[in-house]
Structure 1
Amino acid sequence: MISALGVGLLTAVTPAQAAPPLSVSTVAAGLDKPWDIEIAPDGTLITGERGGRFVAIRPGGTAQTVRADQSKLFVTNEAGLMGLAVDRGFASNRTLYSCQAEKTSPTAFGTGSAGSLPIPFPNSGQVINVVAWRVADDWSSFTRTRTVLSNIPVNSGGRHAGCGLTAAPDGTLWVGTGDNAVRSYPQSRTSLGGKVLHITIGGAPAGGTIPGTPIYSLGHRNVQGVTIQPGTGRVYSIEQGTSRDDELNLLQAGGNYGYRPDRAPLIYDESVPMTDPARVPGAIGAVWSSGAPTIATPALEFLPSSGWGALGGTAVISAQQGKRLVFITLTENGRETVSTTDGLRDTYGRLRALKVDRDGSLLVSTDNGGNDRILRVRPAS
């Protein structure tokens, strides 16, 4: 059951650098691992559970399951229905995008629609696709219209599936991918694993590292969030670390972010640094990293500059293992961290999706399984 609950006052408590008091209310409950949150122009909130269910929360708070044919969906561990993005022309075309793992016919090796160049990938019966859906006027159903991009690899165990997805103001799409725990993928120029991709809504490459492919940056481990900073156009990704160093990265076209887990012959070696300039010359360092241990960071947003007091304009990151929000103040050029503060620590369990709503409040989904919620977070008055 999906239900609406009331508002409470929460004061985040940490040993040091606690965020200012936050007011938290529940927008919807009765969800099961809602991976992402999007907002339509009419104010409807859309979320998708990893198991494949789409849910629309209408203005006024009524929540409804949205019918959609997900018979192709491949669900296991970190893979399933993941990133969501609303098309910038939604008011006229009613288009929503999802990044999701899907079953396919096993072949020894697959190639196909990753731009003008074929991108090969091992195909053992599943793949990650970016899918376009047409939303019914009454939000009763989503109808699949096309596969925008295919050939993003995913292994049979669903590990490191990535699937960060965002729609840019210029109408292009940004896609973060995972390395599938395959040693060669992060540094490979012929695999879409361990990358950030940049495409048009038609699926064509929008410029990046390798002409004719959608690869924008490489050397990543598991990118589950890509976000554009308002007012600057800077594109940032958040990725999950090994036993340490979840990373916030400022993306550059052709940038290599230095993850290279192929040190041991034929072994995926996660003891290597997340950014390894010794083995990846020119590797770009992180703007922020978690240190040890990892806190598992799946999502990133930027708060509005007004209405949030001392937190205005900060980057906010969700944490699953860390069970909190991390607010990061960046330097003016966006390349370094000035300070960090924590909020909601150990209060709602694992936190995943983030989205700034039209009123400037922050929407946050829990990721505990079974009875998850979407929370609305504001500064306490």
Structure 2
Amino acid sequence: MSVALATVGGLCATLLAAPLAQAAPPLSVTTVASGLDKPWDVEVAPDGTLISGERSGRFVAVRPGGAAQTVRADQSQLFVTNEAGLMGLALDRGFAANRTLYSCQAEKTSGSGIGTGSAGNLPLPFPNTGQVINVVAWRVADDWSSLARTRTVLSNIPVNSGGRHAGCGLTAAADGTLWVGTGDNAVPSYPQSPTVLGGKVLHITTGGAPAGGTLPGTPIYSLGHRNVQGVAIQPGTGRVYSIEQGTSRDDELNLLQPGGNYGYRPDRAPFIYDESVPMTDPQRVPGAIGAVWSSGAPTLATPALEFLPAEGWGDLGGAVVISTQQGKRLVFVTLSENGRETVRTTDGLRDTYGRLRGLKVDRDGSLLVTTDNGGGRDRILRVRAG
């Protein structure tokens, strides 16, 4: 099996291209909910209810043993086009008591009175075209019938009028902080800019203030990214990883370091978004941190990642599972003990359910997967080993 090598924090990491991946052990799949339209993400509440959101703005709840039902919410501010709309979701770690759900969503700015999050003191060098991405806090009704918007946690994440490379992944950590993956809007200067929130991984408190490891005075934890839609924390180690969508090749799994630069710099030609550059370019970005795993060519389009439980998954226990849209399969990446190297990759569900997007490990250790085919044909799947 051929390999490629990349430098990761001064170490040599083995990158296995997805086409070389082995087949996964047998997987069993059942449908939890159907008739959905591009459910971007899925979360599991303490009572077993699943909460998802369609990119068009509809929140959907699946109660234990029940069918999918609409959760009413005022989404009159939502800006929906192409990749932008209702995106990442995260439940507050104290959800059982405070009923707080967070969403990452594109919203109109004209006359809306929004855009006053804690990053409001950052420069806004991008044109104000009437829309922005916000992290929003909602209170969920006890019976899951409705959501009431309580506040804008963070604003000033840019989104262009075409919605390209909007991001926007959201993960709640055990310490109560939030991790936000953002897209670069296909603007050449954004990935390397220390003030623009696009093309970054952000780390904030639930009040919107910068949390640990960020660039001083900003919520920016890492930069030099293209389009980050997923962030996950490895159980037992606290290591934080992101999954990043590549150009025509090289989707990347990155082990995040505070203030780290992951080397995407598409500004080789003035004012032109040059996607012919490498996803990690140490020649033009000194000190650029290489990926732990890369898809090779062609790109698989990788929107989400999760760590599988150590038990109940056989040889896949503890692996990173990555969803793919163009690849139409799951990729399982087993990491080395230090978390910086790829030991093995395997594929599952190849060309079976179409485009795959959202991932979440349920309370019983099974994996929830949302499909991304559109036209009301999408489902939430439950995947188990064996």
Same fold (TM over 0.5): yes
Give the match for residue 276 of structure 1.
Answer: 281
| Preserved contact between residue 119 and residue 192 of structure 1 (Cα < 8 Å) | no
* AA partner of residue 135 (structure 2): V
Where 1:140 maps in the other structure, the secondary structure is: coil
1:216, 1:188 → 2: CA distance?
13
Partner of residue 172 from structure 1, selected from 168, 177, 182:
177
Residue 90 of structure 1 is matched in structure 2 by 95
Deviation by residue 1:113-172 (Cα, 9 ceiling, x = unmatched): 344842314210100000000000000000000000000000000000011100000000
Report what 1:344 is aligned to: 349
Match of 2:128 in 1: 123
Q: Is the 2:134–2:154 Cα contact (8 Å) retained in structure 1?
A: yes
Residue 11 of structure 1 aligns with which residue? Answer: none
RMSD value, Cα: 1.6
* One of 33, 38, 44 as aligned partner of 2:43: 38
Q: Are 1:223 and 2:228 matched, yes or no?
A: yes
Structure 2 residue identity aligned to 1:162? G
> 1:339, 1:256 → 2: CA distance?
26
Give the gaps of 5 or more residues in structure 2.
Answer: 1-18
**How far apart are the structure 1 equivalents of 2:183 and 2:150?**
25
Q: Tell whether the 8 Å contact from 1:111 to 1:119 is kept in structure 2 after alignment.
A: no
> What do the CA deviations read for 1:202-232 (whole angstroms, capped 9, x no partner)?
0000033421110000000000001111111
The residue type equivalent to 1:296 in the other structure is A
Give the counterpart of 2:270 among 265, 271, 288.
265
Aligned residue for 2:158?
Answer: 153
CA offset at residue 237 of structure 1?
0.3
SS of equivalent residue, structure 2 residue 22: coil
**Residues 1:46 and 1:247: Cα distance change in structure 2 (over 3 Å):** same
Matching residue within 8, 20, 25 for 2:25: 20
* Counterpart residue identity of residue 261, structure 1: P
- Superposition map of 1:181-196 within 5 A: 181-196=186-201
Specify the alignment match of 1:379 in structure 2. 385
Cα distance change of structure 1 residues 112 and 67 upon mapping to structure 2, 3 Å threshold: closer
Distance (Å, rounded) in 2 between the aligned partners of 1:111 and 1:30? 34
The letter of the residue matching 1:186 is P
Question: Are 2:68 and 1:60 equivalent residues in the alignment?
Answer: no
Letter in 2 for 1:378: R
**Alpha-carbon distance in structure 1 between the residues aligned to 2:315 and 2:138:** 39
Q: By how many angstroms is 1:60 displaced?
A: 1.3
Distance in 2 between the 1:119 and 1:339 partners? 43
The answer to whether the 8 Å contact 1:119/1:151 transfers is no
Partner of 1:3: none
In the aligned structure 2, how far is the partner of 1:94 from the partner of 1:16?
A: 41
Question: 1:100 matched to which residue of 2?
Answer: 105
1:56–1:111 CA distance, 2 compared to 1 (3 A): closer
Question: Any gaps of 5 or more consecutive residues in structure 1?
Answer: 1-13
Write out per-residue CA displacement over residues 276-306 of structure 1, whole angstroms, 9 at most, x where no aligned residue. Answer: 0000000000000000000000000000000
Secondary structure at the aligned position of 2:127 is classed as: strand
1:247 is matched with 252
Q: Is the 8 A contact 2:322 2:331 kept in 1?
A: yes
AA partner of residue 312 (structure 2): G
Alignment partner, residue 7 of structure 2: none
- Cα distance in 1 for partners of 2:78, 2:120 equals 26
* Conserved? CA contact 1:209–1:255, under 8 Å: no
Correspondence for 2:5: none
Q: Which amino acid aligns with 2:382?
A: R
More displaced stretch, 159-168 vs 116-125 = 116-125
* Superposition TM-score, scaled by structure 2 size: 0.92
1:361 aligns with: 366
Amino-acid identity (%): 85
In structure 2, C-alpha distance between the alignment counterparts of 1:286 and 1:167, rounded to whole Å: 23
Contact 1:36-1:48 within 8 A present in 2 as well: yes
TM-score (normalised: structure 1)? 0.93
Over 3 Å counting, the alpha-carbon distance change for 1:201 and 1:38 in structure 2 is: same
The one-letter code matched in structure 1 to 2:67 is: T
Distance 1:308 1:209 in 2: 35
Q: Does residue 318 of structure 1 match 2:323?
A: yes
Aligned residue in 2 for 1:197: 202
Which deviates more, 111-120 or 320-329?
A: 111-120
- How far apart, in 2, do the equivalents of 1:184 and 1:15 lie? 34
Give the whole-Å Cα distance in 2 for the aligned partners of 1:227 and 1:15.
24
Determine the structure 2 residue equivalent to 1:4: none
Q: Does the aligned pair in 2 maintain the 1:117–1:212 contact within 8 Å?
A: no
Distance 1:141-1:248 versus aligned 2 partners, 3 A rule? same
- Out of 40, 44, 48, the residue aligned to residue 53 of structure 2 is 48
Divergent runs of 4+, >4 A: none
